[in-house]
Amino acid sequence: MPLQQIISMKLLKITILLPLAITLLISGCSFTSFSGRQISPTVQDYLNLASQNQGDEQHYYQLLAAGQLLDDNNLNDAEQLLQSLNRIPLNPNNTQQKIILESRLTLQKNQPKLALKILHNVHNLKALPKPIQIAYFTTASQAHLRNNNLAYCTLAQISLNALLQDDSQLPFIWHNLQTLPTTQLNTLLNRSTSPLLRGWLELAILAKVNANHPETLVSAIQNWETTYPNHPANKLIPNTQTLSTASTIKIPNQIALLLPLHGTFAAMGQAIRDGFMTAYYQQSKDLVSTPKIKLYDTSLDEDINDIYNQALTEGADFIIGPLTKSNVKELSNHDSLPVPTITLNYLPANQNAPTNLIQYGLSPEQAANQAASKAWQLGINNILIIVPQNDWGNTIQNAFITRWQSLGGNISDTLFFSMDNNINTEITSILHIDQSQAREKELKQLLGEKLKMTLRRRQDINGIFLVATPSQARQIRPLLSYYYAGNLPVVSISTIYAGYRNTLSDRDLNNIYFNDIPLLLSQNPTIVQLRQQFEKLWPDNYRLNNRLFGLGFDSFHLSLLFNRLIALPNFAIEGATGQLYLNNNQIIRELSWAKFINGIPQI
């Protein structure tokens, strides 16, 4: 039988059977889905109700069934059920609900731009029933997020929260707003007429503008409370007594710096010391009184507890350090510490911190967590992970996976690379280029002649998470491009950037997104001046340990703003190492994002 005739007969069979399948499902006579999957009892209940009703009521239950199919991630059946309603006249509410479901279906098929386009067909939103409005803003928030538009995602979240009145979502809304640049917040404010949105935006702006000035911040918050007494964001602001404690800078009498100044970690300790003292001399002229600074060398063969107690005995009422993980862990073996202590590293995840111990450092786990969120915002859902083959690579991978899977992302594969191995071979293998090459060779042998074939990489990935040093990445990135993965978005962390411009070499890193500290990326004049000062005074050590200069710089400001940090943990402090929050005895750093363009990181 000719091929064309076979195809025609199969198409005829499909044309006959499809309406029958739809009729059976809608009538409630079938427990099996279009795709052969077992449908959930909830879907069957809705379809049974649809079969017992007519007109608008029937269509309403059919739409509920489609929504449940989407909840079950049964996309094929949801799509066919929605398509079955295309030629049926629906009432206005059902029409809007169908549009929202079509947008949601498209979003779950990982087409966020098309999902937003479909959602724009919803009209007269405020006149629609509350459940439909909730469905609209839920879908809009997710679609904007997957389109890398955090601003409009957050505005949709605000509207959704107003409908749900869910206080648990308030911290997420607030965090997202503080992440946005002040210029963007002002633009949104100028466009907004809603008192609800204006209240959120005004609070976010005043929080950013006054972040490091406790007295003006508290005054601005109090004025905002007077203007918006019933606004939901009031629940993020502490009571009057607690708020007042944040208004004054409590200057320590004596700050002890516990740092290694000799041996393996000497250069790191010196970088933190020099960053700290730079902040100290900059700030001293504006303080009513200046604290005394005493330095203790932790690289000596002494117990860290003895050094800590010596600092206390000699008058320290605030302590910065120690730096190494082993020293921080040793110091944490107490129920509480007598004075506020900001360590410069983190405890193991399963170990609780004693009272008065605040953990702060350059946590790669935090960077990996934020990289997962960024990859999700870029529309990636099936990701390839490429990390070094060592314990550190495992740590980064685990932190990324935890966040990635909580978002709903899928991990297609992981490459643990070693530069001791043939990296070219490892890349061809993980991208399945070697399989494509084998197929080409097999066909040549089978046919006995030369073939013109284009090698193909695997098609089950639409993004890459890459963790590597600059030199490693400059080898890996070109190989990804050569083996047909150059069009995939690549997300990384600060390890990929040396911290200073190397335009010629870093062209190989073009289009890679990465997060890093403002000290290295920001074009704010104050930050630029600080960066230039470090480069001028300590050129060699700054090139090696630039991020630790920022750590030292911020640790001094944290000692002055400690009251403000405790009283207003949800209000970020603007630092050289990121936006700084307090959460569960840890300083959380919200990092800046950049992308390599022509070998230069663009914020």
pLDDT digits (tens, 9 = 90+) for 187-238: 999 999 999 999 999 999 999 999 999 999 999 999 999 999 999 999 999 9
The kind and range of the H/E element at 562 are helix 562-567
CATH code reported for the domain at 365-516: 3.40.50.2300
SS3 content of the chain, % helix, strand, coil (to 5): 60, 15, 30
Query: Which stretches of the chain score pLDDT less than 50?
Result: 1-32
CATH code reported for the domain at 254-362+529-593: 3.40.50.2300
Question: Contact 469/414 with Cβ under 8 angstroms?
Answer: no
Task: Decide: helix, strand or coil at residue 312.
Answer: helix
The two three-digit tokens of residue 595, written as one number: 């992308």
State residue 13's pLDDT score: 33
State residue 362's pLDDT score: 96
The kind and range of the H/E element at 227 are helix 214-227
- Give the residue among 300, 289, 286, 297 at the shortest CA–CA distance from 256: 297
State residue 449's pLDDT score: 62
**327-341 burial, b if ≥16 CB within 10 A, otherwise e?**
bbbebbeeeebebbb
Q: How far is the CA of 361 from the CAs of 367, 554, 561, in angstroms?
A: 11, 10, 17
Q: Among positive and negative, which fits the CA dihedral 426, 430, 436, 438?
A: positive
pTM of the model: 0.89
- pLDDT digit string (tens) for 25-54? 444 333 345 566 778 899 999 999 999 999
From CA 577, how far away is CA 590, in angstroms rounded? 8
What is the residue-wise DSSP string for 157-180? HHHHHHHHT-GGGHHHHHHHHHHS
State residue 301's pLDDT score: 77
Task: Decide: helix, strand or coil at residue 348.
Answer: coil
From CA 100, how far away is CA 66, in angstroms rounded? 11
The kind and range of the H/E element at 366 are helix 364-377
